[in-house]
Structures are given as C-alpha cells and as structure tokens.
A and B are shown apart, each in its own frame.
Chain A
Amino acid sequence: MDKVVVIGSGIAGCACAVRLAEAGIHVQLVSPYPSERSQSVMAAGGINAVLSDCEEGDSIACHVQDTLRGGHNLAGTQAVRTLCERAPEVIAYLERIGTVFSLEADGSLARRAFGGQTHRRTYYCGSSTGKQIVSALVMEVRRFETQGLIRRRLWSSFHSALIRDGRCFGAILYDEKSGNLMAEHADALVMATGGQNALFGKTTGSTQCDGYAAGKLFAQGVDLKNLEFVQYHPTTLETSQKRMLISEAVRGEGGRLFYLEHGERIYFMEEKYGDGGNLMPRDVVSQEMAATGRETYLDASFLGKDLIDKRLPEVRDICSKYRGIDVAAEPIPVAPSVHFFMGGIAVDNNHETNIQNLFAAGECASMYHGANRLGGNSLLAAICGGWVVADTIADRSRAGASPDFAALLREENQKLARMRDTSSVFPVMYIRDLLAKTMAECLGIVRNDSSLADGISDVDYYLSIAEKISYDPSAMMYANYSLVGILTLAKATLACARQRRESRGAHVRSDYPASQDSLCHASIVSYENGRYRVWLDKDKRYER
C-alpha cells in the first residue's frame, strides 16, 4: 500500500503514522488540533511491561494473566499475548525516541505498582507519562514530515468513510477553513479517535473525544463491540467543569482509601481485601466505593511532602489549584467517574474492522481490555495497536483504483447545506447536555433493565429531533454535523448494556447480579437497515 489516512493524532495515531512512514508509506495525519491537545497527554500513571530487570517472579505470562483476569476473561487471549510480548519492545522504542522516563538513582528506568497486578511493572514519567510520550512521538512524526512521508492536516475533521462493497477507500473530511467536505482517497483508513466522553458529558477525559467517528461508522455498517463496558475510575475529584483524575499512582505509592464513621476512619478496601485492597482493579474499587453510600477519601498525606513533590507533582498541583487541597496535609475527597471505554470499534487481531482496509487502534477500538482495563495497559495498547495496524498495512498490496464517490460527496455537501438552513428550538449543545444526563442516569456503575429501556427511548427521541437542530453558526460545523453519530453510538451502547443480562467487570446489573459462563463472550452490535442487532461473538469472529 502506498497511501493511508490516519484519523486522530494522539498516541495511537502518531505511533501508527510513524511506523507506516518507516515502511515508506505516505500518511495523511488528520486531526483538527495538534497532538498536544489530544487526550493522550492526560494519561498520567504509566505503561506496563515486563523487562529483563523485572521484579522477582514476574514474567510476560504473569502480565498476560493479570490482563485477562482484570478484563474478566473477555479479552482475546492471542491479542493480549501479543500486547504483553511486545511491551518490552515498546518501552525500548519509547526510550530510543527520547521519552523522558523517570529514573532510579542508578539511572535505570523506575517502575511503580498499579492496580490489579501481581507485580510492580508500570514504567512511568513522573505523573505525566502520556504527555512525555506524546512529546517524543511528535518529534518522530516531525522527522517524517520533513521527509514528505507524513502530512499533518490540521483543522480537518472526519466526516465519514468511503466504503463500497465491503471495502474502504479513504474518508470524507470536513475542512473548517474552507467550509467544504472533500474526499481523501487512500489505500487504507485508520481510526484513532479516542473514547466517547461526549456521551457522558463530565468525565476525566478530553472534551474533544466524542465518539462521533464510531457512531458514524456503525451507521455505515461497521460492527462495534463491548460498548457496555465503561470504566469508572475510582479516584476522581469533583470540580465545576469536569472530574479531575487523581492518578492510580497515588495508590501505587501507598495512598489509602477510607470513609468516616462517627469520626473514625474506615479503610474499607483494606478491611475487605487485605493489604493490597487499595490497589484492586478499578471496577472492583469503584463498585466498593459506590456500595459504601458515603463520601470517600484518598489519603496520601502520610507519604510526606518530599515524596509527593518528587513522584506526584501533577496530582499535588491539580488538588491545590482546583480545590485548594494540600495533598501533603489532608485527604482528597474522591468519587468514581467515567474514565475509559473498553468497548468501541470491533477489530480482529490485525486491528481490521469488518470492512476491508478500515482499521482502528487506541481507545476507539475494542481489543485488549475485556470487561475492565488495568491501569498502565492503555498507553501500551495504543502504541502496540498502532504498530499492528501499520505492519498489516505494510504487508498488504495496493487496493486498486477507487470507485467514483463524486455523487456521494455531492449528496453529503447538500446535506450540510440543508443543515445550515435548519431551525428549531434545540441547539446542538442542549441535546448533548440532555444525552449526558440520560447516560449518567442509565449507565452508572449499577444498571437495570427498566432504566436502560428508558434510556433507549430518550435517545430515540433525541435522534428524532437531531436532524432538525437549531444550526449554530457560532460553533464549529463539526459540532453541528456530529450530533447524529454521537446519539447513534449512545443508543448502540444502551442496547449492548440492556442485552447483557449478567454482571461482569465494569458492567453491573442489579437485576442480574451474577456472571454467567454462557455469556462470557464479547458483545457485538451490528447496524442492519436501521435496526441495532446485538449478538455474542461465540465463534470468536473478532479474535482471529
């Protein structure tokens, strides 16, 4: 293949683009904003790998086991094995391209403990690991930009994929500067658009990650997977505009969770799970916190100012800046909040969707994390996934001539023109706010059939008015046209959650509290003539 369009310039998109360029393939790297604005820069804690200097008793097999167990046996075994086996290569690569890792006094890479893992294997860069990796990757992208192999397209947004007869031939992009849609033909299209925060409004993530691409592709025939598994990060801090992530690194360094009863601290995780209780997997901790029915706190003050200043400066700064909390002197009030989406675009072991030459990597793809993701595995998966895509594309011959999509482009441009002329009492952001409220009510930590059914009916109503929004000329055009895709993804998510009549990992049903062995399969949702069909991947179609 010779030309590839990559949508999204966070860590997965950049890792894929660089790897493609290394193979001599031309890449258009599409994102309205530069990589420095991506959600990847917010990844705080670290990246998992078992290196030669690992903790005694640790092994790649342990990393595989921890990941599969943490994901409640829903992730593909082969994919996870590949992820863990390639982890040392990923760390070596990141170091080679200049990522500023934290070091021990002897100059070796420092590592810390992370939740749900049997050994300390999380390598890190202070508490801004994602940002440090982005900075290094941006330089690599730049190196290939100067060679003419990567071309960044800022101010361009994904609109839809060019699909004909089950094959993808590129994408339609919207250029905010010219105000037009344009077809970008390519041998392959790679989606690296991140998670679907906009479904929930206030999350720990970026406002730019909205799930539109997955929703739009779904309506174009792309299967989605495991959407019901939404990770609630246990330790987030409430602020007026968002939930601030308090990195798992705080608990990795020894931070303790408690609630107050008659003025006395109850260390509920330690009481129930022993010494390692605070570092149980995120789904378990979030569910235990919710079950207390009380305000919960994270205490790191006993670690001392020096250690906090040295290893957790970003956490210290967030608490002080946004809530006036001195982490070295007082506990942090924390509550679970939407943080990561284990579900997304369904891809096989080559990260290819059910549409040929259409790939997905990073958080927008569902692959390695099953029903719950372990901290430190998302950065690893973003890079590894990007590489798998690139290597698959590099091994594949050119797609041949693209069919003529001129009529489709004309039609889509006309739709946008009609949208500019629409008028109703509903502005886009108003419907987005309603959606966030619905999703928070129906897809909280604990769900049930009746609230999920209510949620589907709410979203059906939003969809019925979404084509007749009050067009907002003061917002970017993307904000206007993306609404239907976001709502479509929301409905698909609710449909998956309703269909899974068991509790597993991050999906807890009060009406079906137990796990069922017969349901230990990924859920896939397919769009069939306007119908959302949810089915279990019993023959492992997406694990090949």
Chain B
Amino acid sequence: MNVRILRQLTPTSPTRWEGFNVDVTDDMSIAGLLDHINYNDDIFDDQGNLTTRIGWECSCLQGACGACAMVVNDQPVLACETFVRDLKGSTIEIRPLRKFPVVHDLIVDRSSIHENLTSANVCIESYDPNETGSQAKLVKRQRHQYEIAKCLKCGLCLEVCPNYTNGLTFFGALFANDCYLVAMRNKSKAAEIKALYGEHFGRDCSKALSCMDVCPAQISTISSMAHLNR
C-alpha cells in the first residue's frame, strides 16, 4: 500500500509529501506501520530515493498517553489505536496535527495546552468529599469525573474543533472538562472557574461537538457543558 507522509525536518524547514510503499496487514496500527518503515537500516521512498527516518512521538503505545496524536486520512487520531483495517481507500495519508507548531515530521509542540491551563490556574487545590452532599450523589457523579481525569491532553479535540485556532483566547474542550472537574471537586472555586470557562470556552463554542467524536478517552464534553452552562 502507498503511504504518504508530510515531512518537515525542523520547525523552520519547508514541508514536503513523501510516499512509501509498505506491506501492510489489516491488524497493523499506524504506529506499527511507522515503526515498520523506520526499522530498516536504509529507508527508501516510493521513488527509490534514500531518505531519513520518520520522526514521530510515542510512549505507551496503548492509547493511554496521547503522545502519538496525528492526522490519518484527514481524521485526528492516536496512531497506536488506529488500525489499517479501519481505514478506507487504497492509500494512507499521514500528517502532523495542524493546530500546533511542528518540531520534526509528525512531532508537534503542544506546550500551548499546558500554558493555557496554567494561565487560567485550573487546579482543584482542595477536595472534600463531604462537600458533595449525599453519598448517592457522590457515587453518581464519580463516573464523569473519572472520565475527565483520563484526558490525555493529546490535542485531538483541538485539532478537530472549528472554533480552536491558535489557543490565544479559546482553549477548547480539554479546558472545559478540566473546569468541570475543578467546579465539582472544590465548591469554593466553582464561581471563579465557571467565569474562566465562559471566557475561554462557553462564549465561543459553536457546539459542533466534533471534539467528542475524536476523544480517545471518550469524554462526554457535553455533560461538562450542561453543568457549567447553567
């Protein structure tokens, strides 16, 4: 199968598409496919030219860390849990996330995610389970909070979001969900965090909700919004 990858050696280098002919299997993940290309001592493109190894980021290789977020056939995905069997068409096209500056090939700098959360000081600080009220309520709310704390900060929700551009004012779904977690776990901060949520999410979200379609942790952002928009 022909695999096309958008290459960029350094943050300031020009970009170029490079093709590779790869023997793929249905059960191969995109992460496996990239490893497969990189494994050879010498790497040749589909024109027979010697080229360099493809830069990409990985850590857990099981969908738990978000390192390998990239765009495959126009879909923002995690490379380690996207399989050839799930892709349509006769070619595979891979490029880095567009909403972040490229460091090298498929590796992007997602520092802005953390800078935004820090600038808004999104933190629980102090949680008292007895504050929540009845035990039944506590257990019921636990599920969504657990889901949110599984957010990988991978940036897929920002990549797909029609409202997120450069993160200067609108911080996206991952911010909204962390705001929910803080509001639910520290009542004394609820008003302050709701105001920040409004300023950096609620005001500009057009409710396309495409963020929920691509979230590897399957976080129900709409549930967070339903509470914080009240």
Which A residues contact B (CB, under 8 angstroms)? 33-34, 36-39, 41-42, 95-100, 102-103, 105-107, 125-126, 128, 131-132, 135-136, 139-140, 142-143, 145-146, 152, 154-155, 176-177, 206-208, 240-242, 244, 317-318, 321-322, 425, 427, 429-430, 472-476
Asked if A34 and B153 sit within 8 Å, CB to CB, the answer is yes
- Known interface pairs A41-B64, A135-B150, A474-B9; A206-B59 also in contact (CB < 8 Å): yes
Say yes or no for B76: interface residue by CB 8 A criterion.
no
Cβ-defined contact, B62 with A105, below 8 A: no
Q: A207-B59, A322-B62, A474-B9 are in contact. Are A140 and B123 (CB under 8 A)?
A: yes
A465 to B60, CA, bound (A): 30
Cβ A131 vs Cβ B81 within 8 A: no
Shortest CB-to-CB span from A311 to chain B, Å, is 12
State how many angstroms separate the Cβ of B18 from the closest Cβ of chain A: 12
Are the C-beta atoms of A155 and B109 separated by less than 8 Å?
yes
* Sample of 16 further A-B pairs with CB below 8 A, known A37-B65, A241-B29: A33-B67, A36-B152, A36-B153, A38-B59, A42-B64, A95-B129, A100-B149, A103-B138, A105-B135, A107-B129, A135-B151, A140-B125, A176-B103, A241-B32, A430-B41, A474-B105
B15 CB within 8 Å of chain A = no
Is B35 positioned at the interface, with any CB of A under 8 Å from its CB? yes
User: Nearest residue in A to B27 (C-beta to C-beta)?
Assistant: A240
* Residues of A contacting B52 in the complex (Cβ-Cβ under 8 angstroms): 472-474
What is the bound-complex CA distance between A475 and B55, given in angstroms?
A: 6
**Considering only CB atoms and an 8 Å cut-off, how many residues of chain B contact the other chain?**
64
- Choose from A143, A152, A240, A244 the contact partner of B125 (Cβ within 8 Å): A143
**A322 surroundings in chain B (CB, below 8 A):** 62
Q: Across the interface, which residues of B come within 8 angstroms of A139, CB to CB?
A: 122-125, 178, 182
Which residues of chain B are near A98, meaning CB under 8 Å? Answer: 124, 127, 181, 185-186
Q: Check if B121 is an interface residue, CB within 8 A of chain A.
A: yes
A487 to B107 alpha-carbon distance, docked (Å)? 27
| B142–A100 touching, CB < 8 Å | yes
A100 to B9, CA, bound (A): 41
Cα distance A98–B114 in the bound complex, in angstroms: 19
B55 touches A474 (CB 8 A): yes
**Closest chain A residue to B28 by CB distance?**
A240
Contact residues of B between 6 and 41, Cβ < 8 Å to A: 9, 11, 27-29, 31-32, 35, 38-39, 41
Residues of A within 8 A of B29 (CB): 240-241
Whether the Cβ atoms of A131 and B64 lie closer than 8 Å is yes
Residue from B61, B139, B154 whose CB has the most chain A CB atoms within 10 Å: B61
**Are A128 and B53 closer than 8 Å at their CB atoms?**
no
What's the minimum C-beta distance from B181 to chain A, rounded to whole angstroms?
7
How far is the CB of B171 from the nearest CB of chain A, in Å? 14
Q: Are B59 and A39 in contact (CB under 8 A)?
A: yes
Q: Are B62 and A242 neighbours in the complex by a CB distance under 8 Å?
A: yes
**Measured between alpha carbons, how far is A145 from B116 in the docked complex, in Å?**
12
Task: Point out the residue from B39, B63, B118, B182 that lies within 8 Å of A145, measured CB to CB.
Answer: B118
Which residues on the B side are within 8 Å of A429 (C-beta)?
38-39, 53
- The reply to whether the CB of B104 lies closer than 8 angstroms to some CB of chain A is yes
For the complex, what is the distance from the CA of A132 to the CA of B105, rounded to whole Å? 31
**A472–B53 touching, CB < 8 Å:** yes
Which 8 A-B residue pairs are closest in the complex by CB-CB distance? A98-B124, A107-B135, A474-B52, A139-B123, A135-B149, A98-B127, A143-B123, A37-B59
**Distance between A473 CB and nearest chain B CB, rounded to angstroms:** 7
CB distance from B129 to the nearest CB of A (A): 7
Say yes or no: is B66 at the interface (Cβ < 8 Å to chain A): yes
**CA A242 – CA B32 in complex, angstroms?**
10
Q: How far is the CA of A41 from the CA of B186 in the complex (A)?
A: 24
Q: List 12 A-B contacts (CB under 8 A).
A: A42-B60, A98-B127, A98-B181, A98-B186, A131-B149, A136-B149, A139-B123, A152-B114, A154-B114, A241-B31, A242-B62, A322-B62
Whole-angstrom distance between the Cβ of A63 and the nearest chain B Cβ:
24
Q: Is the CB of B135 within 8 A of A106?
A: yes
Which residue of chain B lies nearest to A426 when distances are taken between CB atoms in the complex?
Answer: B41
Report the nearest B residue to A125, measured CB to CB.
B146
Shortest beta-carbon distance, B80 to chain A, in Å? Answer: 8
A206 touches B32 (CB 8 A): no
Tell me if B54 counts as interface (CB < 8 A to partner A). yes
Is the CB–CB distance between B149 and A36 below 8 Å? Answer: no
User: By CB atoms of chain B within 10 A, which of A100, A139, A429 has the most?
Assistant: A100
Q: Using Cβ atoms and an 8 Å threshold, which residues of chain B touch A106? A: 135
Nearest B residue to A318 via CB reads B62
Please state if B139 and A142 are interface contacts (CB–CB under 8 Å).
no
Nearest CB of chain B from residue A281's CB, rounded to whole Å = 25
Chain A neighbourhood of B27, CB < 8 A: 240
**Whole-angstrom distance between the alpha carbons of A321 and B67 in the complex?**
18
Assess whether B126 is interfacial by the CB under 8 Å rule. yes
Most buried by B among A131, A177, A427, A476: A131
Tell me if A36 and B65 are in contact (CB < 8 A). Answer: yes
Smallest beta-carbon distance A424→chain B, Å: 11
Interface string of B152-175 (1 = CB under 8 A from A): 111000000000000000000000
Nearest-neighbor residue (CB-CB) of B146 within chain A? A100
Highest count of chain A CB atoms <10 Å: which of B9, B35, B117, B125: B125
User: Which B residues are in CB contact (< 8 Å) with A241?
Assistant: 29, 31-32, 35, 61, 80
Q: Which residues on the A side are within 8 Å of B109 (C-beta)? A: 155
Residue of B nearest to A145 (CB): B118
B111 is an interface residue with CB less than 8 A from chain A: yes
- When distances are taken between beta carbons in the complex, the residues of chain A under 8 Å from B182 are 139
Given contacts A135-B149, A474-B9, contact A95 B127 (CB under 8 A): yes
Contact yes or no, A39 B60, CB < 8 A? yes
B145 at the interface (CB under 8 A from A): yes
A100 → chain B closest CB, angstroms: 5
Residues of B within 8 A of A125 (CB): 146, 149
Bound together, the chains give a CA A135 to CA B52 distance in angstroms of: 36
Closest Cβ of chain B to A131, distance in Å, is 6
A132 x B149 contact (CB < 8 A): yes
Any A CB within 8 A of the CB of B93: no
- In the bound complex, what is the Cα–Cα distance between A143 and B122 (angstroms)? 8
> What CA separation (Å) do A35 and B56 show in the bound complex?
18
